[in-house]
Structure 1
C-alpha cells in the first residue's frame, strides 16, 4: 500500500532534526553594480538617418545604381539645363572653294573622325570602343588637360563609420594634372594609403592626381540596369518566367523619368568628391567594413569641389557635360548621418547640377564648343571664336602623343601635274620605301608617273 503524499491527509510528520540547517547568505561587501544600458544618439529630423526613418517603407539605403528620383528629392539635388554650346561652326559661303581640311584632311582630323564614329556606332556589351573613342577625342582636343585616363575606375562611398567598396563605377576617369595652376590653396600632401592619412589637410587642399571628370555612356548605363538582376533557371534548366517578369519590372522601376537627369550621376559626383578627402581603405575581402575599430574617424576638412561628368546621346549625336559643385556641407551629411547640417541660411545643403549639350558634328569647331562647355578652369584659356582647322597637325610638333611622325606626301594632282611638266616622278619618290608588285615606276617618256 502506497504512502500518502506529503501534505495530504494521513501523511507522516517529518522530523525537523533530519533536515539540514538553514544557512543565511553572507552579506556582500560590494554589491554588484547595475548594468548600464547603452546610450544611442537620436537622429535629427533632417539628417540622413532621420530621412530614412521617415520613409521606412522605401528602399533608400542602396547602391547608387539603384537610386531613383526619390533620392534626388530627399537629398536636395536639382538639375538645370543650360543652353546648348552649338557655336562656333564653319560657315559655307556660296562660290568659295572648300577648305583644305575637306580636300586633304590632316592626321588630327582623321583621328577625330574615326574616334567619333566609334563613339556613335553601337559597340560590344563592354563598350570598349566608346571608351577608347572618348579618350582619343579629349587627348586630341586638349592634350594638356587630359594627359592620362584610367579605365573602369572603382570608387568607394563613405557613410557614417563605414566604407562601402567598389559601389560606383564609370567607364573612364581623368584626374587633375600635376602642372595645373590650381585655384585652391596648394599644400604638400602625403600619399593616401590608409584611413588615418587623407589627402585633405587642415591648411588647404591640393586636388592633383585626384578625380576631375568621369565618362559614362547612356547606353552603357541602360544596359547595366537591364541586366543587373540575374534569374536562376528552374527545374531541368527551364526558364523561370515568373521571376524573370518580376525582375524586369524591378529594372523598369530604376529608369529615371528624365534620362538627362539620372540619379546615378549624383552617386558618381559624391564618390569622386569623397575620394579627395578620404584615404584609400585597407585591403579587405569584404565589400564593406568599419573605418577604424578603435574609434571614430575624425572629420576631414571638407572644401567645395567643382567636378564634371561626360556622357553622349547616340540619338542626337551630342555630348552632354554635367558640372556640379559638391559643397562641404553636403559631404558632412554623409560623414555624420545622425546630425542635421545646415548652411548659413539655415537650409539643408544639397547639390546643384548643370548640364549642357555639345553637337559632335562638324569636327571643325568641336574643340571650341567643348571648351566652352567644360570651362577655362579645366582646359585653360583659349579663343572660343577662332576655329582650329588642324591644317598643320602633320608637323612634328603637333603629332599626337605616341604616334610616329610621317613624311608629308604630295597630293595626287601635284604628282600628275609634275609628270606632265616633264619632271621625273621617280626622283620625287626616291626616299620612299620600295614599291610593291602592284605599284611600279614607269620609265621616261610616260605621261603618268605612278600606276596603282
Structure 2
C-alpha cells in the first residue's frame, strides 16, 4: 500500500503525526523555570505555593512602618472619658465586631468574614457597600484558564458610581496623558473590578493542614503511614516567615488578571474543568495595577494590610509563559508586595490608622490627624429624645414654635462639633 493510499484511509492519523511545534522557551520565562526545576512540584494551585515560588517569580516583600497613630492620649491619673463610661452605639458595634474577629473559639470563617464586613462598612460605608462572600477567582496561564484556582473569604470591588469614583484615584500607575497622544495607553478603568479581599491567617493555616486527604485502609482503618507522610507534605507549605506568605502572591495575580480577562463561559465538559479551555488568543491591554489584601494577627491583635504592585510585564509572563519580560533595570519582571501593621485597639483612631494603611484610593480622602469619636451618635439620640419631651409653646402656637426650632438646629450641631474637636476621648 502506498503512502498516498494510506493517507486517504487514515486522515486523522496523518494529522497527528505532524504536531505543531512549540517555540523554545526563553531564558527566565515561566516554562524555562519549570524545565529547570522539573523534579519539584511547581505547577500547582496557589494554595500549594511555597517560599520557592515567591523566589522564582521574583517577589519582593517589604514591611513598612506600622500605622499606629493617631490614638487617644491617656494621661496618668486622668478620669475615664465619656467613651468608656457611655460608649456610643457605633463604638459598641465596632467593639463587638472586632472581638468576634479576634475570638479564636468561634472558628467559623463566615462569622469572621461578616465581622470584617461590619467593621469596614461602619468605617467607610460608601467604599465597602457591596461585597462577595467566598468568591472564586481564575488563574490564566498561556492559552488555558484554571477555574476557581483561588478562593478568599471576602472580596470588594471598586465602586461603579461616578461620584464614588471621582473621590477615589485610579489604581493604574501609568500617568494620564492627553487623549490626542497616540503613544499613550488608555487609562485603566477599575469600576466593578477587584479592589480588596480578606482572608484570615487562621483560616489559611486550617486549609493547609487539611489540604491532603488520606483514604482509609481495609475495614475503614486509618492509614497511619500515609497520614504521617501527608502531614510532612503539609508542613512544607508553611512559610518560613508568616508575614511573607507566597499564597498572597497567587491571590494578587488572580485579582489582577480579573481586571483584564473576561471570565470564560463555564461548561460541563471535562476539558473545561481541567483548565483546557482557551480564554483568548489576543493579548489583553495589561497595565500596572495595585490592590490590597486584608488579614489579621490574633496574637498581636493587629490588622495587616498587604499592597500588591502587579506590573504589566508580570502579567505578560503568564500570558506568554515562553517569553521573558524584563523591568527597566534589566531584571526579570517580578512583583513588589508591601505590608504594614495596624493595631486594632483602641477603637478611637482605628478609622484613621486603617485608612492610612489602605490608602485614599480605597477609602477616599480623609484627615488622618482628626480622630473620629462618633459622639454625634449620642448627641443625635439626645436631641431626638429632648425634642420629644419638649412641652408645647408656652406663649405661642405650635406652628410658631416649629418655625423657631428649625434655624436653631444647625447652630446646635455646630456647637457639638466644636466641642468634640476640643475634648479627647479614649476607648
The verdict on a shared fold, with TM-score over 0.5 as the criterion, is yes
Instruction: Output one character per residue of 1:37-95: Cα deviation in whole Å (capped at 9) or x when no partner.
Output: 63321011110000100111111100000000000010000101111111111011345
Kindly name which structure, 1 or 2, has the bigger radius of gyration based on alpha carbons.
1
Displacement after TM superposition at 1:184 (Å): 4.1
Number of the residue aligned with 1:251: 234
Number of the residue aligned with 1:288: 274
Kept in 1, the 8 Å contact 2:290–2:307? The answer is yes
- Name the CA distance, whole Å, in 2 between partners of 1:281 and 1:96: 62
TM-score by length of 1: 0.75
TM-score by length of 2: 0.79
> Of the candidates 301, 308, 313, which is equivalent to residue 292 of structure 2?
308
Number of the residue aligned with 1:354: 338
- Name the CA distance, whole Å, in 2 between partners of 1:37 and 1:100: 78
- Name the CA distance, whole Å, in 2 between partners of 1:74 and 1:321: 24
Number of the residue aligned with 1:74: 56
Q: Does 1:299 align with 2:283?
A: yes
Number of the residue aligned with 2:418: none
Instruction: Output one character per residue of 1:5-48: Cα deviation in whole Å (capped at 9) or x when no partner.
Output: xxxxxxxxxxxxxxxxxxxx99x9xx999975633210111100
Displacement after TM superposition at 1:145 (Å): 1.6
Number of the residue aligned with 2:370: 386
- Name the CA distance, whole Å, in 2 between partners of 1:341 and 1:87: 40
Alignment of 1:255-294 (within 5 A): 255-285=238-268, 286-292=272-278
Kept in 2, the 8 Å contact 1:101–1:390? The answer is no
Q: Does 1:57 align with 2:39?
A: yes
Number of the residue aligned with 2:316: 332
- Name the CA distance, whole Å, in 1 between partners of 2:165 and 2:81: 35
Number of the residue aligned with 1:84: 66
Instruction: Please report the RMSD computed on the Cα atoms of aligned residues, expressed in angstroms.
Output: 2.7
- Name the CA distance, whole Å, in 2 between partners of 1:225 and 1:356: 24
Structure 1 segments, 4+ long, off by >6 Å, are 31-35, 405-410
Q: Does 1:39 align with 2:21?
A: yes
> Of the candidates 195, 205, 213, which is equivalent to residue 196 of structure 2?
213
Number of the residue aligned with 2:416: none
- Name the CA distance, whole Å, in 2 between partners of 1:98 and 1:408: 26
- Name the CA distance, whole Å, in 1 between partners of 2:115 and 2:376: 22
Q: Which runs of 5+ in 1 are unaligned?
A: 1-24, 187-201, 397-404, 411-452
Kept in 1, the 8 Å contact 2:152–2:198? The answer is yes
Q: Does 1:168 align with 2:165?
A: no
Go from structure 1 to structure 2 and tell me whether the alpha carbon gap of 1:288 and 1:237 turns closer, same or farther (over 3 Å shift): closer
- Between Structure 1 and Structure 2, the one with more helix by share is 2
- Name the CA distance, whole Å, in 1 between partners of 2:171 and 2:124: 25
- Name the CA distance, whole Å, in 2 between partners of 1:372 and 1:228: 36
Q: Does 1:180 align with 2:165?
A: yes
Structure of greater relative contact order (alpha carbons < 8 Å, 6+ residues apart): 2
The total of aligned residue pairs comes to 360
